[in-house]
Amino acid sequence: MSNNKRNPDSILNVLGKTVYIDDVPETSGMLHAGIVVSPSAHGRFAGLDFSKALERYPDIQFFTAKDIPGQNELSTSEPDEPLFADGIWHYQGEILALILGPSRSVARKAAALVSIIGREDMPAILDPRAAYEKGMFIPSPRTIVSGDTEAAFKNCDLVISGRADSLGQEHVYLETQGAIAMPGDDGGVRLLSGTQSPSGVQAIVARVLGVPMHRVEVEARRLGGAFGGKEDQASGWAALAALGAVKTGRPVKLYLNRRDDMIATGKRHPYSSDYKIGLKKDGTILAFEAVYYQNSGASADLSPAVIPRTLFHAAGTYEIPNIKVSGYMCRTNFVPFTAFRGFGGPQGFFVIESALDKAAAALGMDRAELQKKNLIKEGHKTHYGMSFKDVRAALCFDACIKQSDYKKLRAEINAFNLSHKAQKRGAALIPVCFGISFTKIMLNQGGALVHVYNDGSVSVATGAIEMGQGVGRKIAKISAMALGSSLDAIRIDCTRTSTVANTVATAASTGTDINGMAAQMACTEINKRLKSLAAEKLATVPEKIIMENGSVFVMDGEAKKETGLSFARLVGMAYESRTDLSAHAFYATPGLYYDIKTERGNPFLYHVYGAALVTATVDTIRGTYRFDQAFMTHDLAKSIDETIDLGQVEGAFAQGLGWACLEELKFDQNGRLLANTLSTYKVPDANFMPDMHIEFLRKPNPLAVANSKAVGEPPLIYGLAGYFAVMDALKAARPGEEGFYDLPMTPEKAMLFLSGELPGDVAR
């Protein structure tokens, strides 16, 4: 599909005209929300004292757990996440009270004056391994077994064990969490919500208010970024605004500042993992075991869905005949960790790549040689019983090797390191194989509602949320192709629960796959009706009618003949003849199944492949480093819009490189977030990024809409190559020393390693 015109949203963004939640004009009588949050990781309290706040701001109103008319519960899995803490809190940033005032400033200042009665801080569990020892799990562990690891290890020439730790990651979406609630005259509410899941917000708000879902209408036009942070966690903020609106009978706006957002919202899950890997002398992997201690935070949130994604990707991109992997969701006194781009997959990839890094050093093999030797091939089976089909791992790996001229590059790095003491260079490759579909099978469904108006213009509504990833643009192009209209005729409507019901979150890289397919199906139905009418008017058969880019043609043998009939005129004729110009379609991803009891099934529609090589230079005096070049070969299939997809690969890689080598989610020993502003939490900028060289593998994928492949999450894993590139350079500075596997790589850790104070393979 050609990218003949720019995305209209891009122009609005550049001009500053795009309307987000905080840009919506405020209605008369609107109240603004402030929040009172828990001050520590764990504690109990007898109540709250609002007297000072009321004395200073007598027109404020406040609400706590006792004011909830329905259920004080946000969770979609375990009933363990209250909207308001009631007598006890389990993490810093848990909501204690909602304050409403005439302005945002008044509400926030009043919230700061609320004091806690009978506060008693309690011991906090912060380490997932400590939670494991105490049996603090959410709900029960998962284990996947394939083959016989115990027997396989006995036949290995080399068996290596170790530990790998990875910290969490802040989403840093540009638009913080927010919602606007307008009360209805039926006891319901209408919400503008910054959410990836309008139907999810609808269900939670209905539960909190104690009303049926049809009394809650949720609308989301666009988000200023999300990355998973607004999948489940937008629901609580919308529920607070809705509660305020219903209780006061006035519109309520809640919009968090950056500090409150960072303190009170979930992040990527930190993991602490143990691994054991067994290989032959030639580098063939025979067995792999791993135990993943997931730091789930104080409540379940999406942890029960994140941990299976880690287990599914435990083998990375490698064929390993004997595997045993277990995941424990460990309950700690941190904010509930949540969805983040990659959804547990990157954490799993880090562990297997750490094991291979250590094994390559022990075998005296080049890391890339060991990786290539064990890449998955056509017909291989996953450890959960799914057969790999249309495997592109070696294609991408070899293309990346060729693109980077790896043999020459490695020789140059070795020569540089021999002649430089104050600087050392390193390089590392990461192959990727990432499954596409929600791991919870039920979620793989979506609907679309298409209206063609009698002037030829088109409105397409789906469950997809535009959050900067270009899903609206892609669905518009898919719809135009399926209808035969021009792209200019298509308008992607805002996502609204009263238009397309029971939608799933725009997540798991499935936004276009699911919603684009539903839109294509609805448009194809209308196209059939229009072709039948055109055939009748042109005295031919529908099979000979071709509709392209707003024009109608008739096939004459192998040639297309112009009819002089436009799409708009044909639509007008259809309206005059009382032809239905609307269609609803529903798509459920086919072929998916999984048996959680046997841990066997087919949880993914297809896999996305790729490979990335990153080079780095380390200053051995200061411990600082820079990334020089990145070579990526990405399995794009047939792109719907290559400009969008290129931006997604670049952005995902930047986010992955930030997680691996820069962003340090720092808490103190009492569980309080220290990196709670953008002055203390570093994110990648242009100077941090290397020169990027990106090639696409353009082999069509018949399993997805328009022969495309998902692109949102897989490229984030490329960022891990940056970690191992720096590690490669560090080991060149200290030959013979084992590496350490404690992500993110930071200059402090690098300096400790260079000075001999951070032993290899020991997480700090």
| Phi, psi dihedrals of residue 199, rounded to the nearest 5° | -70, -30
User: What is the average pLDDT score of the chain?
Assistant: 96
pLDDT more than 90, % of the chain = 96
Q: Is the pLDDT of residue 704 over 80?
A: yes
Residue among 283, 352, 263 nearest 680 (CA): 263
* 736 CB-near residues (< 8 Å, 6+ apart): none
The CA distance from 9 to 600, in Å, is 43
**Which of the two residues, 392 and 14, has the higher pLDDT score?**
392
Please say if the pLDDT value at position 179 is more than 90.
Answer: yes
The yes-or-no answer on residue 133 being catalytic is no
Is residue 245 within 8 Å of residue 37, measured between CB atoms? no
Tens of pLDDT along 57-86?
A: 999 999 999 999 999 999 998 899 999 999
Please check the confidence at residue 192 and state whether its pLDDT lies above 60.
yes
Residue 480 sits in the same domain as residue 539: yes
| CB neighbour class for 480 (10 Å; exposed up to 12, middle 13-18, buried from 19) | buried
Count CB neighbours of 23 within 10 A: 11
CA distances from 370 to 98, 379, 381, 634 (A): 56, 21, 20, 21
Question: Could you tell me if residue 668 is inside a domain?
Answer: yes
One domain, residues 418 and 295: yes
Torsion angle in degrees (nearest 10) through CA of 154, 159, 162, 164: -100
Mean pLDDT of 481-503: 97
- Band the pLDDT of 9: cuts 50, 70, 90: confident
Confidence band of 13 (pLDDT split at 50, 70, 90): confident
Mean pLDDT of 642-665: 97
What gap in Å lies between CA 455 and CA 378, rounded to an integer? 50
Verify cis geometry, omega within 30 degrees of 0, for the bond prior to 744. yes
Q: What is the pLDDT of residue 762?
A: 60
Are 354 and 376 within one domain?
yes
Query: Are both 508 and 403 inside the same structural domain?
Result: no
Is 693 a domain residue? yes
- Integer Cα distance of 555 and 562 in angstroms: 9
The owner of tokens 């894993």 is 717
Active-site pick, 412, 536, 713, 757: 713
In a domain, 135, yes or no: no
Mean pLDDT in residue range 29-44: 98
User: pTM, whole model, 2 decimals?
Assistant: 0.96
* Token pair recorded at residue 217: 């209408």
Cβ burial 572-581 (10 Å sphere, 16+ → b, else e)? ebbbeeebeb
Task: Report the distance separating Cα 193 and Cα 238, nearest Å.
Answer: 6
**Secondary structure element (H or E) that encloses residue 242, with its range:** helix 234-248
The total number of residues shown for the chain amounts to 764
Q: Which two tokens stand for residue 458?
A: 């088109």
Instruction: Point out the domain boundary residue: 227, 255, 283.
Output: 255
Give pLDDT, residue 3.
45
Q: Above 80 in pLDDT, residue 172?
A: yes
Residue 643 in domain: yes
Average pLDDT over residues 665-671: 94
Task: Look at residue 764 in the predicted model and tell me its pLDDT.
Answer: 42
Domain boundary among 588, 623, 644: 588
pLDDT at 755 exceeding the cut of 70: yes
Positive or negative CA dihedral for 170, 346, 398, 405?
A: positive
Both 250 and 355 in one domain: the answer is: no
Q: Tell me: pLDDT of 366 over 70.
A: yes
435, part of any domain? yes
My answer on whether 461 and 427 are in the same domain is no
Q: Does pLDDT of 506 surpass 90?
A: yes
Same domain, 467 and 430: no
Strands 691-697 and 625-635: parallel
Determine, yes or no, domain membership for 149.
Answer: no
Ramachandran angles phi, psi of 673, nearest 5°? -70, 120
pLDDT attached to residue 10: 79
Average pLDDT over every residue of 532-541: 96
Q: Are residues 291 and 241 in the same domain?
A: no
Residue 2, pLDDT score: 42
CATH of the domain at 52: 3.90.1170.50
Q: Quick check: 213 pLDDT over 50?
A: yes
Same domain as 431, residue 291: yes
Per-residue confidence at 758, pLDDT binned at 50, 70, 90? confident
Instruction: Give me the domain span that covers residue 25.
Output: 9-122+177-255
Does 485 share its domain with 620? Answer: no
pLDDT of res. 682 = 95
The confidence score (pLDDT) of residue 12 equals 84
Average pLDDT over residues 460-487: 97
pLDDT at 749: 96
| Domain CATH number, residue 508 | 3.30.365.10
Q: Number of folded domains in the chain?
A: 3
Report whether pLDDT(759) > 70.
Answer: no
Q: Answer yes or no: do 276 and 421 share one domain.
A: yes
Sequence-distant (6+) residues with CB within 8 A of 628 are 425, 615, 616, 617, 690, 691
In a domain, 414, yes or no: yes
Residue 426 shares a structural domain with residue 455: no
Is residue 13 situated within a structural domain? Answer: yes
Q: What is the pLDDT of residues 230-263, one digit of tens each?
A: 999 999 999 999 999 999 999 999 999 999 999 9
Question: What percentage of the chain reaches a pLDDT higher than 70?
Answer: 98
Q: Which of 282, 312, 306, 142 is nearest to 232 (CA)?
A: 306
Last residue of a domain, one of 558, 588, 618: 588
pLDDT on residue 5: 56
Measured distance between the N- and C-terminal CA atoms of the chain, rounded to whole angstroms: 49
CB neighbour list of residue 717: distance below 8 Å, 6 or more residues apart: 342, 345, 346, 349, 430, 432, 434, 656
Identify the helix (H) or strand (E) that includes residue 555. Answer: strand 551-556
